[in-house]
A and B are shown apart, each in its own frame.
Chain A
Amino acid sequence: MKLTKLAIVTAMAATVGTTSALADLVFPSLSYRTGPYAAGGIPFADGYADYFTLLNERDGGINGVQARVLECETAYNTQKGVECYESTKGEGSLVYQPLSTGITYQLIPKATADGIPVHSMGYGRTSAANGKVFSHVFNYPGTYWDAASIIVNHILEENGGDINGKKIALVYHNSAYGKEPIRTLEELSKKHGYELSLVPVDHPGQEQKSQWLQIRRDRPDYVLMWGWGVMNQVAVKEAANIRFPMENFIGVWWSGSENDVVPAGEGANGYKAVTFHGVGSDFPIFEDIQKHVVDKGKAAGAGDQIGTVLYNRGLYAAMLAAEAARAAQEIHNTKEITPAQMRDGMEALKIDSARLEELGLGGFGPEINVSCENHGGPGLGAIAQWNATDGTWSLINEFGPADREIIDPLIMEDSTAFAAENNIPERCS
């Protein structure tokens, strides 16, 4: 009898536990707060977590359902990232932010098979922007190829639309990530007539003397950078050392945080980076974060990263995930959504300027429009510039488009080849 009672109580407890777990909207965070890249991983993870804490504290969750951030430490290691995915996917995880191109590549087949969406925001496999082929992978609001094109557009703008004969060097991390923009830059060089030189840097990039000697001898008009971690800091410092004009040195969005410029001091003044979101903390949402998260002692970190580039990026990623969850709730008329429904929400994600204002993020990013066919979003970006005296980044132009005439055929070519190799039927028809 006692055993029966115990069994009933246990079963009830299990049911309550399960119901409670299902009631939460689970957002896993594959973070890296340790290891050589921790300086970049911590602010992103803090921003991601703090946004959901804000929604829980201020709004009671997303449409009344509490959001639960499930953090798992990857140390930016692909194997650990996959282990994190495997250990958290059973918790009802709605969408994964792998936060590493290596982890993303590993998760593309796994998550697709499991029916869980992956949001590699501004990284990962660029051709995943083709939703007809990549059913569960999203990389909105922009891709590396968009970034390359937006930078070239900025250079065109600075040169009155004519860069024929100009010399542009690409300093890149000698990895799949670093090589991503090469094809796009080559195609753009055919179109605009600039001369492209490639300068690879081996991991981790602590020693770049040879590369910068070469740049000093070649005297390119512009240097672009696709780096991460210590490679960025050393490159900015070396560029300052050889007195390369910093306003002509432009990095991708993973080469444009405070971490990358602070070690070079005044020498980094004028350095630029492309970005797909706003900079600084002059947005109403940060007051709410201070009031509802930091002041209540519920901040994910020490509260000292708020407003930094990577904190803002984590916050932006969380906002996009929360808005997609709202869209999914609306589409399926339920508050407790599944990963499959989350995918539908991501494919129907639309955020206009008015909605950004409502969220306290007016002007923080471009309008977002995702569809079944287009998982890459608007592909818009702006250029941010570093002011070493104030220690601040500021946007120096509006969010502008990439050259779709060049990029869309490249995405189509790569994704079609992937579909053929993996026998993936086209969807969205």
Chain B
Amino acid sequence: MVLQARGHGVSPDFLNFIETVLNGLMSGVMYSLVALGFVLIFKASGIFNFAQGVMALFAALTLVGLQTGQVPFAHLINAILGTDIHHWGPGLPTVLAILVTMLVMIALAFLIEKVVLKHLVNQEPIILFMATIGLAYFLEGMGDLMWGADVKALDVGLPSGGSFWWEDVTRAWAPEGADYFGMYIDTLDVSAAIIAVVLVVALTLFSQYTATGRALRAVADDHQAALSVGISLRSIWVIVWSIAGFVALVAGIMWGAKSGVQFSLSLIALKALPVLILGGFTSIPGAIVGGLIIGVGEKLAEAYVGPIVGGAVENWFAYMVALAFLLFRPQGLYGEKIIERI
């Protein structure tokens, strides 16, 4: 505004650059939301949870099912009993549906601990990893049986679409008469950024100032020492998987609002991998900063390298950045340096 008043303007090319960076940051936040779930579980139990993406899908499916009043397992019930039931009513209000979904994710955490993890205590990490692969396939199938495979619209009342206000403000930054339409920013991404900030602050406060949080940190630092002071590893696992379930629900809501709730949603885990490599598998700030770097990096690459090499460079560029970090800092930006003394 000031620049325009002086009769100057910022070059549209530079404004486009800023727009790309801003949108990269917003996309990065979305990746961080997924990566956070991985970090929480890995930090507390050393398990790389292959099922994190499917947990986001399962949570989102459950949420939409509750919102729309869908009868779980309706197709199965109808096939077996010859009935024709699909809905039990108009559905739950959004807030209530979110709360019930959270309860479902907590119940799931209990089940995972009871049925899977309990039996795999002291097993090699690769065994636990394989168990989470099985869990991913199980949850995917269960989600299909419970809620069906059709694409569902998800609306939790968050704003979405380009911000008119921001477009108007930034349009004035370009020189008068310039072929510039203002900067684009998706209001849904802004909501995601705010939610991510709240989530990280809440997680940090929880781990710093609550007894359970301190127990979580103790387990993360040293399983044996934590056990020796009476911390129940199994309870901690349930809590951690519940929190990861909550993070999966948040990620499922944000991604589901973008693309609809469908089985491809589980593939968002692919977006979290370079973030984890970059930020480290054990750091919550790492997941955030890693996400932002990957988001900005891939958007800049697509905008400025893409046209030279034919486009569609985002995905491999993110992994290239992550690999470059691996070469110089294998533990990631914020990961713990592993020193083994022989």
Tell me the A residues contacting B by CB distance below 8 Å: 33-39, 42, 174, 198-204, 206-207, 209-211, 213-214, 216-217, 219, 229-230, 233-234, 237, 240-243, 259-260, 262-263, 265, 267, 297, 301-302, 304
Contact between A202 and B303, CB atoms less than 8 A apart: no
Contact between A213 and B262, CB atoms less than 8 A apart: no
Q: Smallest CB–CB gap between B188 and chain A, Å?
A: 8
B312 at the interface (CB under 8 A from A): yes
Contact between A42 and B311, CB atoms less than 8 A apart: no
Chain A residue nearest to B263 in the complex (CB): A36
Residues of B within 8 A of A198 (CB): 310-311
B138 at the interface (CB under 8 A from A): no
Chain B 115-141 residues near chain A, CB threshold 8 A: 140-141
0/1 string, B253-268, CB within 8 A of A gives 1? 0010011101111111
9 A–B pairs (Cβ distance < 8 Å), ordered by A? A36-B267, A39-B150, A207-B271, A209-B26, A213-B23, A259-B260, A259-B262, A262-B153, A302-B78
Contacts A36-B262, A204-B264, A229-B264 known; list 10 others, CB within 8 Å: A42-B149, A202-B315, A204-B267, A207-B30, A210-B20, A213-B19, A237-B258, A237-B259, A259-B151, A263-B260
Contact between A214 and B315, CB atoms less than 8 A apart: no
Residues of B within 8 A of A34 (CB): 140-141, 144, 149
B113 at the interface (CB under 8 A from A): no
Contact between A210 and B150, CB atoms less than 8 A apart: no
Contact between A210 and B306, CB atoms less than 8 A apart: yes
From B16, B78, B149, B306, residue with most partner A Cβ within 10 Å: B149
B82 at the interface (CB under 8 A from A): yes
Contact between B155 and A265, CB atoms less than 8 A apart: yes
B43 at the interface (CB under 8 A from A): no
Residues of B within 8 A of A203 (CB): 315
Q: Smallest CB–CB gap between A215 and chain B, Å?
A: 10
Tell me the B residues contacting A by CB distance below 8 Å: 16, 19-20, 23-24, 26-27, 30, 74-75, 78, 82, 86, 140-141, 144, 148-155, 160-162, 181, 184, 186, 255, 258-260, 262-268, 271, 298-299, 302-303, 306, 310-312, 314-315
- Cα A121 to Cα B299 in complex, Å, equals 37
Residues of B within 8 A of A39 (CB): 149-151, 262-263
Chain A residue nearest to B186 in the complex (CB): A241
Contact between A233 and B314, CB atoms less than 8 A apart: no
- Cα A81 to Cα B271 in complex, Å, equals 27
From A204, A210, A302, A304, residue with most partner B Cβ within 10 Å: A210
Q: Smallest CB–CB gap between B53 and chain A, Å?
A: 11
Residues of B within 8 A of A174 (CB): 311-312
Contact between A210 and B75, CB atoms less than 8 A apart: no
Residues of A within 8 A of B303 (CB): 210, 213-214
| Residues A38 and B155 in contact in the complex (CB < 8 Å), given A210-B303, A213-B19, A229-B264 | no
Residues of A within 8 A of B154 (CB): 263
Residues of B within 8 A of A219 (CB): 181
From A200, A206, A210, give the contact of B268 (CB < 8 A): A206
- Cα A33 to Cα B86 in complex, Å, equals 19
Sorted nearest first, the 5 A-B pairs with minimum C-beta distance are A263-B260, A210-B302, A230-B264, A200-B312, A38-B149
Chain A residue nearest to B271 in the complex (CB): A207
Chain B residue nearest to A34 in the complex (CB): B144
- Cα A50 to Cα B144 in complex, Å, equals 21
Contact between A206 and B267, CB atoms less than 8 A apart: yes
Residues of A within 8 A of B265 (CB): 230
Q: Smallest CB–CB gap between A24 and chain B, Å?
A: 24
- Cα A240 to Cα B255 in complex, Å, equals 16
From A213, A233, A263, A304, give the contact of B86 (CB < 8 A): A304
From A200, A209, A230, A240, give the contact of B311 (CB < 8 A): A200
Chain A residue nearest to B164 in the complex (CB): A243
Q: Smallest CB–CB gap between A174 and chain B, Å?
A: 4
- Cα A229 to Cα B151 in complex, Å, equals 10
Chain A residue nearest to B20 in the complex (CB): A213
From A206, A230, A240, A301, give the contact of B161 (CB < 8 A): A240
Contact between A233 and B20, CB atoms less than 8 A apart: no
- Cα A297 to Cα B314 in complex, Å, equals 48
From A35, A36, A207, A267, give the contact of B314 (CB < 8 A): A207
Contact between B264 and A36, CB atoms less than 8 A apart: yes
From A207, A214, A242, give the contact of B162 (CB < 8 A): A242
| Residues A38 and B314 in contact in the complex (CB < 8 Å), given A207-B27, A213-B19, A262-B153 | no
Contact between A216 and B264, CB atoms less than 8 A apart: no
